[in-house]
Amino acid sequence: MKTTNYSKIAEKYDKNQFRVKEIKLDYDLKDHLESNKQPEYSVLDLSCGTGLYLEKQVHYFNEVNIRWNGLDLSDQMLKKASEKVPNVEFINANVEDMPYHSDAFDFISNNYAFHHYSNKEQALNEVYRVLRKGGIYKLHNISIHDMSKWWVYHYFPTAYYEDLKRFWNKDVIFNELTVRGLEVNLKIEYKMEKIKVNDYLDYAVNREISVLTLIPDNDYEEGLERMKYDIKTNTDKTIVNDFAEMFCIAKKL
């Protein structure tokens, strides 16, 4: 399985406004804190990247006594994160061998990262180990098996086949969490709509969507030229686009 070198795209990662704007108050974290009152909490953002999630949550929960932690394999992404939220303990480490003691965290968030793990089974073993009894592991990702008409796959078809190598489907995720003794609630949010191709060209040019860094350069250039040609011939060109997000809440029993 090919892997994305995030140190190379750290500088332009936050330029994707979809990524920045979509992060709101984490209501699953809020619900967990409200239903489990205690003097102090420990929260880990797994594969925290440039700290977009942590930046928002630290602000939203500033009156709650939370020890915030972020782990990522890219030191360049962590450098960006530490500049955003200096009051978080960041660690440069692999999710498959986390440098935390067992039963360390009340809540673990894991956003748009699980497909990057080379040994997903071991990653889940580690999540289970460092999660406290009654704690929550929240896995949030795109659900590529339910979104074959995504604009990325429309213009860069080899990207879909790369993603099939990286992403588990929802049944596998549900089963792998369940057999480890977690109580799982998994849902898929899906939408299909027409989009203007011109609105997405900058995201293709920026090439920080991870799968676009994995396809051959000639496939990427060909897809980019197709986008530009479609826009040149019709600035209002639209295509059907679908998108599916998976939200998985797993509680350690």
DSSP symbols for 198-233:
GGTHHHHHHT-SGGGGTS-HHHHHHHHHHHHHHHHH
Q: Evaluate if residue 21 carries a pLDDT over 80.
A: no
Cα 180 to the center of its chain, rounded Å: 22
Judge whether 158 and 212 are in contact, CB under 8 Å. Answer: no
Cα 20 to the center of its chain, rounded Å: 12
Q: What are the pLDDT digits (tens) for 166-209? A: 999 999 999 999 999 999 999 999 999 999 999 999 999 999 89
Which CA distances in Å does 169 have to 32, 38, 123, 161, 223? Answer: 26, 36, 16, 14, 26
Mean pLDDT, to the nearest integer, of 106-116? 98
Residues ≥6 apart with Cβ < 8 Å to 198 = 231, 235, 236, 237
Burial of residue 186 (number of CB atoms within 10 Å: 0-12, 13-18, 19+): middle
Mean pLDDT, to the nearest integer, of 50-61? 96
pLDDT score for 4: 57
Mean pLDDT, to the nearest integer, of 32-60? 97
Mean pLDDT, to the nearest integer, of 90-98? 98
Least confident of 2-6, 35-39, 159-163, 166-170: 2-6
Q: Evaluate if residue 13 carries a pLDDT over 80.
A: no
Mean pLDDT, to the nearest integer, of 39-47? 99
Residues ≥6 apart with Cβ < 8 Å to 222 = none
Mean pLDDT, to the nearest integer, of 38-43? 98
Q: Where does the pLDDT of residue 10 fall: very low under 50, low under 70, confident under 90, or very high at 90 and above?
A: very low
Least confident of 19-28, 55-64, 107-116, 236-245: 19-28
Q: What are the pLDDT digits (tens) for 208-247? A: 899 999 999 999 999 999 999 999 999 999 999 999 999 9
Mean pLDDT, to the nearest integer, of 81-109? 97
Unique residue bearing structure tokens 């939200």? 247
pLDDT mean across residues, the chain: 94
Q: What are the pLDDT digits (tens) for 133-151? A: 999 999 999 999 999 999 9
Q: Evaluate if residue 7 carries a pLDDT over 90.
A: no
> What would the two tokens of residue 201 be?
């060209």
Structure-model confidence comparison of residues 9 and 74, the more confident one: 74
Domains of the chain, start order: 6-252 (3.40.50.150)
Note the pTM of the prediction, 2 decimals. Answer: 0.91
Instruction: Write down how long the chain is.
Output: 253
pLDDT score for 208: 87
Structure-model confidence comparison of residues 15 and 131, the more confident one: 131
